[in-house]
Amino acid sequence: MGNLLRLAVVLAGKDLRLELRTRTSIVSAAVFAALVLIVFNFARDPTAVATIDLAPSVLWVTIAFASVLAMNRGFLVERENAAFDGLLLAPVPREALYLGKFLANFAFVVLVEAIALPLFVLFFNLDIAHALGGLVLTMLLATMGFVAVGTIFSAMVVKTRFAELMLPVLLLPFMVPPLILAVKTSVPLFSGRPLSEVVDGLRFLAIYDIVFITLALLLFPAVVDE
């Protein structure tokens, strides 16, 4: 168990270092998130629909699409460097490979969210300081759900043609339950309801996360071992 975590950290560290050198994923995803927010702003009529009603949907659509973009690189970096065999050769449990990628992807997406959320508050002129704690918790749990499935799928699509198009096609249906739950949780929080009222939604998100992380851990060896 200790070795598993140690290896996951070594692997995630490698991915983070690579990403910081090239900055392709995080920058594209962050720019994309900003652009989506801007487009949303111009695509609505502020007199017709109250901002606060539209806000949770806008936030979560932006996060969902930006997450897919951030995870796109995923295993592509291994293919480009023709380095994947090196990981499989080594005495590394396949679960550690998954966890390492999961941690790295999670870090990337959270970083993008950390950029998107302030922009969101800025562009939409919202006061959600009271809801910040609950919102951050929701974002972390929903992100874990997105990344749990996105990580294993990115290992699969890297070997297909049109890898970058394939990931959203496969991943989006899986993102819908956490998305629904995230929006359902955000709406009361934005309206000032206390955290205790949305605990059920958060619990459901946590269940989704546990189920799919476990499933992905079980199935990941079948994806990478030939």
Q: How far apart are CA 49 and CA 17, in angstroms?
A: 44
CB of 123 to another protein, least distance (A): 26
Q: Which stretch binds another protein (CB under 8 A): 6-14, 103-111, 134-142, 188-196?
A: 6-14
Smallest gap from Cβ 140 to another protein, in A, equals: 19
- From the CB of residue 113, how many other CB atoms can be counted at a distance below 10 Å? 25
Residue 159: phi and psi, rounded to 5, are -95, 0
Residues 91-150 that bind another protein (CB under 8 A): 91-94, 149
Q: How far apart are the first and last CA of the chain?
A: 25
CA dihedral for 49, 55, 56, 59, sign (positive or negative): positive
Q: Which helix (H) or strand (E) holds 191?
A: none
For another protein, the binding residue among 26, 59, 76, 152 (CB under 8 A) is 152
CA atoms of 80 and 42, how far apart (whole Å):
38
Do residues 190 and 56 touch, judged by C-beta distance below 8 A? yes
Binding mask 167-206 for another protein (x = CB under 8 A): --xx-xxx-xx--xx--x-------------------x--
CA 111 to mean position of chain CA atoms: 10
What is the C-alpha to C-alpha distance for residues 150 and 170, in angstroms, rounded to an integer?
Answer: 9
Of residues 34 and 59, the one with the C-beta less far from another protein: 59
Q: Quick check: 29 binds another protein (CB under 8 A)?
A: no
Q: Which stretch binds another protein (CB under 8 A): 27-35, 60-68, 81-89, 136-144?
A: 81-89
Query: Residue 132 or residue 207: which is nearer to another protein going by CB?
Result: 207
How big is the chain by its Cα radius of gyration, in Å? 18
155: tokens are: 């290992």
Which of residues 22 and 114 has its CB atom nearest to another protein in the complex? 22
Which DSSP letter does residue 130 get? G
> Given the complex with another protein, which of 46 and 221 has the nearer CB atom?
221
Minimum CB distance to another protein smaller for 94 or for 193: 94
- Applying CB under 8 A, the residues found at the interface with another protein are 3, 7, 10, 14, 17-18, 21-22, 77, 80-83, 85-94, 149, 152, 156-157, 159-162, 166, 169-170, 172-174, 176-177, 180-181, 184, 204, 208, 211-212, 215-216, 219, 221-223, 225-226
